[in-house]
Structure 1
Amino acid sequence: MNKEYKKRIDSVIQYIETHLDNKISLTEVANVSHFSVYHFHRIFTGMVGETVNDYIVRRRLERAVNLLIFKPELSVTQIALDSGFSSSANFSKAVKLHFGFSPSEIRNPAKVKDSKIGKISSKYGKAFHPSDLYPVRITNEVINQLNSEDVNMNIEVKEFESRRVCTLASQRGYEPEGIYEAWDKLIDWAANNGIKQDEQKRFAFAFDNPTVTPVDKCRYTASVVIGEQVQVKPPFLLSEIPQGKYAVLYFKGRPEETIKAQLSIYADWLPESGFEPDNFPMLERYLNDARVDGYVEMEIHVKLKEM
């Protein structure tokens, strides 16, 4: 894939992500890409795998559904307007068309009687049910029922300095083959640049919620902390984990249980914490190799800001 093309399309995606609550025109994003407006749409569709409009609509709906789940104090109308929809009626229609369920059903999965098929299933092949969005409550009682050798959870608020990182994005979202391919390349790169494997501090940028976003559309970027003197060249990119307060959840257990642990931060801990998530993706710091050990040991980091 042409590196310059990818760089331009990545800038378009970043622009869309920061303007989801505004009306976005094809000409506007074509200008961001510096491609001709006559050809930009085909280039975007060819590289991303969906049209510009489908991408924008999908991302608005995914963000809105996350607000429905994690911001119960917000009305459906407020979420609709904040997500770039002209009315709650248009929003509800779009949510039901995409997910197969209305906003009220997503907020109250216990009232859902039948499973339904929306665009997320027919177009993206992703099974979806509102109950999947609500994790099992991570309480002391639940933790005591779990095998402590397999699962161990604890949340702390920690202050971190900024960290310089070398990154490489998975080309296939959350699909395991894409994730492992990115990590293998990045780990080898770090070792070749003088960072021994057992000394590497590895973080993944997890941009999307896989209970809402199709797995191959989830954005996942592997990263390794590097020193100031280390040079980064394509296909690797230089980035930064910013200074600030982070909620840090230690997790050890089966890979399929990680999503419940992640969602528990948002559903259980944050509402009582006095904090809200800052505008930065969730991080996963890996402490072992799940392919070797058969289990995951990691820290989940969520950047915080005061309410």
Structure 2
Amino acid sequence: MQRVLDHIDRHLDDDLSLDALSAVAAFSKHHFHRQFAATFGLSIHRYVQLARMRRASHHLAFHTAASVTEIALDAGYQAPDAFARAFRQRFGQSPTDFRKTPDWKTWLTAFGPFIDARSRHMANYTLNDVVIRDFPATPVAVMTHLGDPQGIPGTIRRFVTWRRSVGLGKTVSDTFTIFYCDPRRTSPTQFRLGLCAATTRTIPPNDDRVTQDLIPRGRCAVLRVIGRSDDLEHPATFLYRNWLPGSGEELRDFPLFCQRVTFYPDVPENETVTDLFLPLV
């Protein structure tokens, strides 16, 4: 089943019919269809639809260069009208309206079954996966998200727009996220997250409320996460619960943070790379 999920991630533009995917799984069509639904809680057809629609919605929200027609074809639809109908049915907005003002709450609800399915097959980390590195002092520009975690995609969208406007896109500036608090132990109104672009520039006062900060130099335990990176709770829990108690290390007074090395949908989701840093004394 993991081989099938990886195949879907890598081949969203190719034939993902029941015949093709049952061959990848080396199951009969009948057995594969039933086994997939039993394992993930949704049919293989719906999973593929959601995977393609998720990539399309990312392109609409964050990649403004592509037209709606191009995105529709990329999602496997023969005509933009068919794509628009399917998109509205799923998200309650037309693709054009979503591009202008995404309704992220409805978007997250629509992808709940897809996210749940992917969460059932998470990586199993070992103590040998963690390395100690000296992290260099890194000046950053920070846009802070404060409030309900469901609003994070909207903050990311604003941050991406700001980065492009000042010439600090992800191809020229390293990307970090600072996790100031644990969402499981913080009320939604007090949740705080920092979206960062590495830069030595002086950031003047601005309407986007981007400020200057510094990720300090120091030793860090580093866990490389390959695959889904929009929810890092599982690898973070491994660092705190499994690695730290027996490591002989002490935590430094700086929060957990990560570096986004590669991004979805620039690369297939199962190939995204995120380095998770746990600051140590």
Deviation at 1:120, TM superposition (A): 4.9
How do 1:60-209 and structure 2 match up within 5 A? Answer: 60-109=52-101, 120-121=108-109, 124=112, 131=154, 134-136=157-159, 137=162, 140-141=203-204, 151-152=213-214, 174=231, 176=233, 178-183=234-239, 187=243
Q: Identical aligned pairs, as a percentage?
A: 21
The residue type paired with residue 288 of structure 1 is: P
Residues 61, 169 of structure 1: alpha-carbon distance in 2 compared, 3 angstrom cutoff: closer
Taking structure 1 as the reference length, the TM-score comes to: 0.48
Q: Secondary structure at the match of 2:214?
A: coil
Taking structure 2 as the reference length, the TM-score comes to: 0.51
Report if aligned partners of 1:100, 1:116 keep a CA contact under 8 Å in 2.
Answer: no
The residue type paired with residue 37 of structure 1 is: K
Q: Secondary structure at the match of 1:284?
A: strand
Report if aligned partners of 1:96, 1:103 keep a CA contact under 8 Å in 2.
Answer: yes
Aligned to 2:272: 281
Q: Provide, for residues 244-290 of structure 1, a one-character-per-residue CA deviation record: whole Å limited to 9, x for no partner.
A: xxxxxxxx7797xx8xx97xx98xxxxxxxxx95664141331427x
Report if aligned partners of 2:22, 2:28 keep a CA contact under 8 Å in 1.
Answer: yes
Higher relative contact order (CA 8 A, sep 6+): 2
The residue type paired with residue 152 of structure 1 is: L
Aligned to 1:43: 35
What is the total number of aligned residue pairs between the two structures?
Answer: 191
Quote the Cα distance in structure 1 between the aligned partners of 2:50 and 2:111: 11
Which consecutive residues of structure 2, in runs of 5 or more, have no partner in the other structure?
A: 116-149, 167-202, 217-222
The residue type paired with residue 109 of structure 2 is: S
Q: Secondary structure at the match of 1:152?
A: strand
Quote the Cα distance in structure 2 between the aligned partners of 1:70 and 1:146: 19
Superposed CA RMSD in Å reads 4.7
